[in-house]
């Protein structure tokens, strides 16, 4: 009886720890107040000036083709080369989500603000004054940009390192058939979190064998990192690949007594991810970009945007 009571207490502690992790990590990103930004949401020219001042839209002083001076035409929102033989023309929105947009820039900016606030698409559509279809379209576009950014910056966002600890685990993401039947279209996701910085990585994996897991861990975790996992056989070769490997046997306990060996933090991450990614998006088509969105939110939650 004593052992059972101890196990129950430990399970309860583990559950509340995961909930606490979820609360700490899934806070809203630090944004300027609506009061500060509202003037830019009302007027397109004000929004464009704001984006130019924030260096989100690029300013050109010289033509990238001939290196001559350019002049800006406010009506067309374009830079034109002053040399008559060049006639190069550049949109200020080039290479941004605003390029060739049919929606006014101030409304796109407002939708982006609502997206960062984690406002639902329907609520954002009502607030901004657009159709739900338009809000859905731009929310998807924002996620695509986050995905591109994440993929392009993998090497600059490695976690761990010497004297650092990273918890690693896998979790199964799936949806139910007709939202009520048996689980279908399940996808395994590998993830890790660095203690201290609380930075994470997540990546869907086709298999959980040692070759696949090691390949992905090497992509996201620096060498000489102390890695804590469960006893899954896929992690068996971490010690042979310049990692310090500690394990927790979840059949016996959630935390090894007298040590800090546990994977409760990453378990809390799974809990949060599954609360924020609805079952309809847990498919091969949508899961990756939604994981990257949540990863970006967690890794940038202390930054002022």
SS3 label, residue 278: coil
- State the Cα–Cα distance between residues 127 and 116, nearest whole angstrom: 14
In the chain, DSSP finds a helix count (H) and a strand count (E) of 9, 8
What pLDDT score does 100 carry?
87
- Asked which of 164-168, 252-256, 301-305 is least confident by mean pLDDT, the reply is 301-305
User: pLDDT tens-digit profile of 39-86?
Assistant: 999 999 999 989 988 888 888 888 888 888 888 888 888 888 888 788
User: pLDDT tens-digit profile of 168-198?
Assistant: 999 999 876 655 555 566 899 999 999 998 9
Residue among 66, 102, 58, 97 at smallest CA distance from 82: 66
- Asked which of 6-20, 32-46, 150-164, 197-211 is least confident by mean pLDDT, the reply is 6-20
Within 13 Å, how many C-alpha atoms sit on residue 224's CB side? 3
The yes-or-no verdict on residue 11 having pLDDT over 80 is no
pLDDT grade for 138, boundaries at 50, 70 and 90: very high
% of the chain surpassing 90 pLDDT: 47
Record the pTM: 0.80
Pairing of strands 78-81, 89-91: antiparallel
Take residue 95 and report the two structure tokens written for it: 């290479």
The residues, any chain, with a CB within 8 Å of residue 143's CB and separated by 6 or more, are 289, 290, 292, 293
**Distance of CA 4 to CAs 9, 10, 11, 16, 49, Å?**
9, 10, 10, 18, 65
Residue among 229, 227, 233 at smallest CA distance from 248: 229
- State the Cα–Cα distance between residues 105 and 112, nearest whole angstrom: 10
User: pLDDT tens-digit profile of 85-130?
Assistant: 888 888 888 888 898 889 999 999 999 999 998 999 999 999 999 9
What pLDDT score does 179 carry?
57
The residues, any chain, with a CB within 8 Å of residue 291's CB and separated by 6 or more, are 189, 202, 203, 204, 273, 277
Residue among 300, 303, 269 at smallest CA distance from 20: 269
In the chain the domains, ranked by start, together with CATH numbers, are 2-27+156-299 (3.30.420.10)
Q: How many CB atoms lie within 10 A of CB 278?
A: 12
């Amino acid at each position: 009886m004593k052992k059972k009571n101890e196990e129950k207490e430990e399970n309860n502690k583990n559950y509340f720890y995961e909930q606490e992790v979820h609360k700490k990590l899934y806070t809203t990103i630090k944004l300027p107040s609506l009061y500060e930004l509202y003037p830019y949401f009302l007027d397109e020219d004000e929004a464009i000036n704001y984006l130019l001042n924030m260096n989100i839209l690029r300013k050109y002083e010289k033509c990238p083709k001939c290196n001559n001076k350019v002049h800006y035409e406010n009506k067309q929102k374009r830079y034109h080369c002053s040399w008559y033989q060049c006639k190069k023309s550049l949109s200020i929105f080039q290479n941004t989500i605003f390029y060739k947009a049919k929606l006014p820039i101030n409304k796109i900016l407002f939708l982006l603000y609502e997206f960062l606030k984690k406002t639902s698409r329907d609520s954002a559509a009502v607030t901004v004054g657009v159709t739900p279809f338009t809000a859905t379209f731009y929310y998807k576009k924002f996620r695509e940009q986050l995905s591109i950014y994440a993929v392009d910056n993998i090497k600059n966002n490695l976690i761990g390192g010497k004297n650092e600890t990273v918890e690693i685990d896998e979790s199964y993401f799936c949806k139910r058939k007709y939202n009520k039947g048996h689980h279908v279209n399940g996808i395994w996701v590998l993830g890790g979190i660095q203690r201290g910085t609380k930075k994470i990585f997540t990546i869907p994996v086709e298999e959980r064998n040692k070759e696949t897991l090691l390949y992905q861990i090497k992509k996201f975790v620096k060498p000489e990192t102390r890695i804590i996992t469960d006893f899954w056989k896929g992690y068996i070769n971490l010690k042979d690949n310049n990692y310090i490997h500690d394990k927790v046997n979840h059949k016996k306990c959630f935390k090894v007594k007298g040590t800090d060996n546990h994977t409760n933090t990453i378990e809390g991450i799974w809990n949060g991810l599954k609360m924020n990614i609805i079952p309809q998006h847990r498919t091969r088509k949508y899961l990756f970009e939604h994981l990257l969105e949540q990863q970006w939110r967690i890794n940038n939650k202390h930054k002022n945007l």
